[in-house]
Structure 1
Amino acid sequence: MDKPSIVIYIISDSIGETAEQVAKAGISQFNVNDHELRRFPFVTDKNQIMEILEEAKSEKSVIVFTMVIEEFKNILQEEAAKHNIPCIDIMTPVIDSMSQALHNAPRREPGLIRRLDEKYFRKVEAIEFAVKYDDGKDPRGLKKADLVLIGISRTSKTPLSMYLAHKNIKVANVPLVPEVAPPKELFEVPPKKIIGLTTNPMKLIEIRQERLKALGLKHEANYASMERILNELDYAEEIMKKLGCPVIDVSSKAVEESASIILEIFREIGYKINGR
């Protein structure tokens, strides 16, 4: 079998995907069909570098690398120069320019972009979770949730669920309605994972009347009556006491403030969300 006309060594102290894409883009500009790309990820040891270069020096090769650990980057460049192997540093020009613009030193930690990607996907997963298990749609999600919010209608359960989802927290919420028994799964969730939401009845009347107005309904509807609201609040309080969960009053609080209080409650009782 004929040897390739050129071997491109992809070396990285992370997974090497960036260097490989750049190498592919570069070689595509040439009429070379018999090239070969060899990727060496997670190279964080001098011996690894020496072994790769020992192989590379015996054939027509080019090194394309992304290394942020200064020590190993320098070793690679110095040893490649000894063997007259072209060595292309993808990251340093970018990092140096950004460092100059930001007046800040780089962290020099490999794999950070992968961790950022993982954080992003965890957020997407949490948002999808909040949508799927919003308003008690599927009680099976209660045991999978990082935390469960319970309360009567218009106590900010959904806005809080979505806000916390953007912090990578999986939240399910359950409406408490006197005519409908809570799902049995709710009583199987540890109380420390549940937060009860309550509110001032006068404030709630205003909110519900605005809701009825938006729906084109009359203000006199039972949904916005004081008698109905007091009945719902009493029922919710009874359920929350039965569960033994913390309760917060969201009457005059912004979603951000309520979320901050919830997270502080969890910190105080030592319950960790997503390992934090």
Structure 2
Amino acid sequence: MDDKPLIYVLSDSVGETAELVIKAGLSQFNNGNYRVQRVPYVDDRKTIDDALQLAMEEQALIGFTLVDPELRTYLNEQAAVKNLEAIDIMGPMLNAMERVFHRNPHMQPGLVHKLDEDYFRRVEAIEFAVKYDDGRDPRGIARADLILIGVSRTSKTPLSQHLALKRLKVANVPIVPEVAPPEELFNVNPDKCIGLRINAEKLNDIRKERLKALGLDDHATYANMERIHQEIDYFDDVVQKIGCNVIDVSHKAVEETANTIMRMMK
């Protein structure tokens, strides 16, 4: 039998907020050695009764976010009757805000995670960036809003994810002298491509640190200056053939490069 502490998370929405708060508290005690069981979309007393019964049998802790004051009161009362520890995450905050703002809350579950069109576009863009990361499927090039190309360690992946949060579908393609770029790269509108250039000295430093982090010799070919110059020269040939814009990322943070790209796209 699993002897890890069990926490039931009850919510009238998906339970993400409650779980995050519970996990933040738990991190101060047992470094993740616990189990969390969500009970989402709680909208009646029967669901509460069932969850409390399970919590009694498992000797579990309860955390909950319920905006309906009647259900909140019922859960608190029944937990006290059953001698269960129940943490009301939302109730005290709503009550305090109501007193300060002199307004009644909307009492609508899930408003913080309202699934509107913007939300779905962002999720779709993130999934796209993961699927077409590192040139793993060249078919994504034709479907992308933006294609990033560059040699290894030019922040193509984190930049793709950052731009995905801005609802852009981004594919990225590594440029390696021994591997011909996918033909799709030369068939798309060059305005959709951005080359990420980096100077040789900066790339050498980054790659050496990467090798050290992996426990490898920093004199490997990957960080060899002659090899790096070869890769950069090949990258320059590729971007010239495509005819795309190039950004020097040698001394730019991901956020700064992303902002530059957004301005270029506008």
Q: TM-score range by the shorter chain?
A: 0.5 to 0.7
CA 101–146 in structure 1, closer or farther in 2 if over 3 Å, else same: farther
Q: Kindly provide the CA deviation profile for residues 102-140 of structure 1, in whole angstroms up to 9, marking residues without a partner as x.
A: 99xxxxxxxx99985221111111111101000000000
TM-score, normalised on structure 1? 0.56
Q: Deviations over 1:141-175 (max 9, x none)?
A: 10000100000000110010000011111000000
How far apart are the structure 1 equivalents of 2:121 and 2:264?
A: 23
The residue number in structure 2 matching 1:221 is 220
Q: Deviations over 1:23-79 (max 9, x none)?
A: x979xxxxxxxxxxxxxxxxxxxxxxxxxxxxxxxxxxxxxxxxxxxxxxxxxxxxx
Q: Quick one: structure 1 residues 102 and 127, their matched pair in 2 at CA, closer, same or farther if it must change by over 3 Å? A: farther
Which amino acid in the other structure matches residue 139 of structure 2?
R
Find the counterpart in structure 1 of residue 136 from structure 2: 137
1:78-97 → structure 2 map (5 Å cutoff): none
In the alignment, which residue of structure 2 is the partner of 1:178? 177
Letter aligned with residue 196 of structure 1 = G
In structure 1, the residue matched to 2:151 is 152
Corresponding letter in the other structure for 1:131: V
Alignment of 1:63-78 (within 5 A): none
Secondary structure in structure 1 of the residue aligned to 2:250: coil
- For 2:101, the equivalent position in structure 1 comes to 101
Q: Which residue of 1 aligns with 2:8?
A: none
**Whole-angstrom CA distance in 1 between matches of 2:113 and 2:154:** 38
Residue 116 of structure 2 aligns to a residue whose secondary structure is: helix
Identify the residue that residue 33 of structure 1 maps to in structure 2. none
Cα RMSD (Å):
2.8
What residue identity is the alignment partner of 1:227?
Answer: E
Shift of 1:200: 1.4
Q: Paired residue for 2:88?
A: none
| Identical counterparts, % of pairs | 61
Matched with 2:196 is 197
Q: List, as ranges, runs of 4+ consecutive aligned residues in structure 1 with deviation greater than 4 Å.
A: 112-116
In 2, the alpha carbon distance for the partners of 1:102 and 1:232 equals 64
Letter in 1 for 2:188: V
For residues 211-265 of structure 1, give each alpha carbon's deviation from its aligned partner in whole angstroms, at most 9, with x where no partner exists: 1111111011011011011110010011001100000000111101000001111
For 1:210 and 1:130, locate their aligned partners in 2 and report how far apart those are by CA, in whole Å: 26
Measured in 2, the distance between the counterparts of 1:213 and 1:120 equals 39
**AA in 2 matched with 1:178:** P
Q: Whole-Å Cα distance in 2 between the matches of residues 229 and 113 of structure 1?
A: 47
Give ranges in structure 1 of 5+ residues lacking alignment. 1-20, 27-93, 104-111, 268-276
Equivalent in the alignment of 2:205? 206
For 1:185 and 1:135, how far apart are their aligned partners in 2?
A: 15
Q: Rg: which structure is higher?
A: 1
Partner of 1:167: 166
Task: Supply the distance in 2 between the matched residues of 1:165 and 1:230 (Cα, whole angstroms).
Answer: 31
Counterpart in the other structure of 2:126: 127
The residue type equivalent to 2:259 in the other structure is: S
| Secondary structure of residue in 2 paired with 1:179 | coil
Q: How many Å separate the matches in 2 of 1:101 and 1:236?
A: 58
| SS of residue paired to 1:247 | strand
The Cα of 1:186 is off from its aligned counterpart by 0.7
Q: Which runs of 5+ in 2 are unaligned?
A: 1-40, 46-93, 104-110
